Amino acid sequence: MMQEDLHFTMEDIAKEVGKQGGAHVSFTKMKKRYEELLHRCNQLIESDTEVEHAEQAKVKIDCIKAFLLLFLGYTIFAGKNIKNISLMWLRALQDMDELCN
């Protein structure tokens, strides 16, 4: 899920899961991933080719997923001493692709 929905590399996934001790991602890493996806989405605003247009559609959905996952993490864990987000919330966002089409 991290690779397909959030564009994490396998190396980043291994580091993050190993560091967080399970299916979790740190707020810092999630915020950085969201910012990278948002930047890529902004680069593709004026897509010239069909390939870029298709990439823009995928990156836009994944950027929304990253933002919502970050938002859920901040909202649910606000005021608590937790520094990571459970990736089980990403499963709740899996139908986002169908909703946006």
Identify the pLDDT of residue 83: 77
Q: How far apart are CA 22 and CA 28, in angstroms?
A: 16
C-alpha Rg value of the chain to the nearest Å: 14
3-state secondary structure of 40: helix
Query: Residue 23: exposed, middle, or buried by beta-carbon count in 10 A (0-12, 13-18, 19+)?
Result: middle
> Exposed, middle or buried, 87 (CB in 10 Å: 0-12/13-18/19+)?
buried
At 77 the pLDDT is 66
pLDDT in tens, the chain (101 residues): 777 777 788 888 788 777 767 777 888 888 998 999 999 888 888 878 888 888 888 888 888 888 988 888 888 765 566 777 877 777 777 776 666 65
